[in-house]
Chain A
Amino acid sequence: MALKGNLRDFTITQLLNLVNLAQKTGSLIIEGPSETATITFREGKLAYAQVNTEDGGLGAILHKSNVISTAQYGTLKARAASMNDKELGLLLINSGYVSQEDILASLQTHFVDIIQRLFSWVEGIFHFDNDILVPGDKIPVKLDLENIIIEGSRRLREWEQLKDELPNLELALKFTDRPGVNLKNINLSVEEWKVVSFINPKNTIGAIAKANKMSELDIRRIVYGLLQAGLVELIRPEGVEQTLPGIDKAMPGKNKEEQKNLVNRLIGRIRSL
């Protein structure tokens, strides 16, 4: 039977379970609303993953996981552009830049990240292709799916909760002007500081995430924490046209006295109801 369908009817969790139990080899291809992911398995274990909208090259992956610096990444792009991942990996190990463990760990994190992101897709057409294997020039990994499934389900719940708490990433943040709150006395993580340093009425939460290369889950988690702690509040971003006018606009062409008179008439009427 052809393994294909829509994520609405068959979730990522169910798919990974199936691949795991049936010890499948091949690729799961999932077309989401804005990107397509290809997850490749060998005998029921994760071997490789790629998203069509992203640079899945080893250089980009090592850069993303901070194994190589931006300058090093730039040099690689200029000098080693024609090398494939296996060649590049060997070169980097031989020249002592990185260890084999670094490379494998970065790849694993990258592939798992891609799968974890899929857990938040509600819409997407998938099919399983037995013939698509790990591309010959790519470095495969070998990871059990059980942990990924458990972690994914846990993250999915958290994701759903955070989306309820913070549905709108188009809003900006500002520090609360609450007396007695001093950022210097609060222990923030590096990631939280990164977000805090971008807080400005001009930056939407989505833009802050982008600038810090953070996922929607990560940015929501951090902003939610800052909101909970009462350090920041949500505001309409500057520069975006104010959607709703203030009270004055509700009573156009009226001076303060006339406005008060109008509100008093409303009060009188409602009292008499």
Chain B
Amino acid sequence: MQTVKMVVTGPFNSGKTEFIQTVSEIDVVSTERKVSSEAEKIKESTTVAMDFGRITVDDELVLYLFGTPGQKRFDFMWEILSEGMLGFIVMVDSTRPETFKEARAILETFRAYAPTPYVVAANKQDMEDAWEIDDMRIALRLDPDVKLLPAVAVDRESVKSVLLELLGTILTEL
């Protein structure tokens, strides 16, 4: 049996848990305690959180999805992620521009340490006040060759297409 991993990262409340839950065949085991808006300010309580989902491909292959908001290099998650990571997805809440710079910082940290393909998901595109993709690309300072994908984490087709885009990127980089 072989296992591979994909990581879903991004700021607090960007939709990581929702994204994984939407396609996982098991209930997302979240190590994250329900955090009140007060607790949101305390970074530690959210950086140790990690979601965990699974998609069985066939008898010999399983894909795990890990959700983590981490940006610190020495978080314990790096150890967990250090084997078999195919690529990562950076989730961004399109309705909360105040989180864009954090998303950018997370992206940069991951990119510096994980030389694997990635895509950026502009989540919550179903919401009225979601930013447009082109504006988000500028605000997030993404190079033209980085895939920035509109996403709705509560919608299965949308989550599938983000995963497929990442896999497509992985395939071209092999």
A interface residue numbers (CB < 8 A to B): 161, 164-168, 170-171, 228, 230, 233-236, 242-247, 249-251, 256, 259-260, 262-271, 273
A267 in contact with B4 (CB, 8 Å)? no
Question: Of the candidates A168, A233, A247, A271, which one forms a contact with B116 in the assembled complex, judged by CB atoms under 8 Å apart?
Answer: A247
B96 at interface by CB-CB < 8 Å: no
B108: A residues at CB distance < 8 A: 171, 233-234
Tell me the bound Cα distance from A256 to B173 in angstroms: 11
A250 in contact with B105 (CB, 8 Å)? no
Tell me the bound Cα distance from A165 to B140 in angstroms: 11
Chain B proximity of A226: nearest CB distance (Å): 13
B73: A residues at CB distance < 8 A: 168, 170, 243
Tell me the bound Cα distance from A259 to B4 in angstroms: 11
Tell me the bound Cα distance from A28 to B80 in angstroms: 45
Tell me the bound Cα distance from A168 to B167 in angstroms: 29
Q: List 8 additional A-B contacts (Cβ < 8 Å) besides A164-B102, A165-B101.
A: A164-B101, A171-B112, A243-B73, A243-B82, A247-B117, A247-B173, A267-B167, A267-B168
A265 in contact with B71 (CB, 8 Å)? no
A246 in contact with B71 (CB, 8 Å)? no
Tell me the bound Cα distance from A267 to B83 in angstroms: 20
Given contacts A266-B61, A269-B57, contact A247 B171 (CB under 8 A): no
Tell me the bound Cα distance from A266 to B164 in angstroms: 9
Given contacts A250-B4, A270-B55, A270-B160, contact A244 B114 (CB under 8 A): yes
Tell me the bound Cα distance from A244 to B87 in angstroms: 11
| Binary A-proximity of B89-120 (CB < 8 A = 1, otherwise 0) | 00000000000011011001101111111000
A265: B residues at CB distance < 8 A: 57-58, 61
B2: A residues at CB distance < 8 A: 251, 262
B85 in contact with A244 (CB, 8 Å)? yes
Tell me the bound Cα distance from A233 to B109 in angstroms: 11
A263 in contact with B167 (CB, 8 Å)? yes
B86: A residues at CB distance < 8 A: 247, 250-251, 263
Question: Of the candidates B82, B109, B167, which one forms a contact with A270 in the assembled complex, judged by CB atoms under 8 Å apart?
Answer: B167
The chain A residue sitting closest to B84, CB to CB, is A250
The 14 sampled A-B contact pairs (Cβ below 8 Å) are A234-B112, A235-B112, A242-B115, A244-B78, A244-B85, A244-B114, A247-B117, A250-B116, A251-B86, A262-B2, A265-B58, A266-B4, A266-B61, A271-B164
A168: B residues at CB distance < 8 A: 71-73, 105, 109
Chain B proximity of A64: nearest CB distance (Å): 31
The chain A residue sitting closest to B115, CB to CB, is A246
B4 in contact with A262 (CB, 8 Å)? yes
Tell me the bound Cα distance from A234 to B73 in angstroms: 13
Question: Of the candidates A164, A242, A269, which one forms a contact with B105 in the assembled complex, judged by CB atoms under 8 Å apart?
Answer: A164
Tell me the bound Cα distance from A186 to B78 in angstroms: 38
A171: B residues at CB distance < 8 A: 108-109, 112
B105 in contact with A166 (CB, 8 Å)? yes
Tell me the bound Cα distance from A250 to B104 in angstroms: 25
Given contacts A243-B113, A250-B4, contact A167 B55 (CB under 8 A): no
Given contacts A259-B174, A270-B164, A270-B167, contact A244 B113 (CB under 8 A): yes
B152 at interface by CB-CB < 8 Å: no
Chain A proximity of B42: nearest CB distance (Å): 12
Question: Of the candidates B4, B111, B113, which one forms a contact with A251 in the assembled complex, judged by CB atoms under 8 Å apart?
Answer: B4
Name the residue among A242, A250, A271 with the largest chain B CB count within 10 angstroms: A250
Tell me the bound Cα distance from A230 to B144 in angstroms: 13
B121 at interface by CB-CB < 8 Å: no
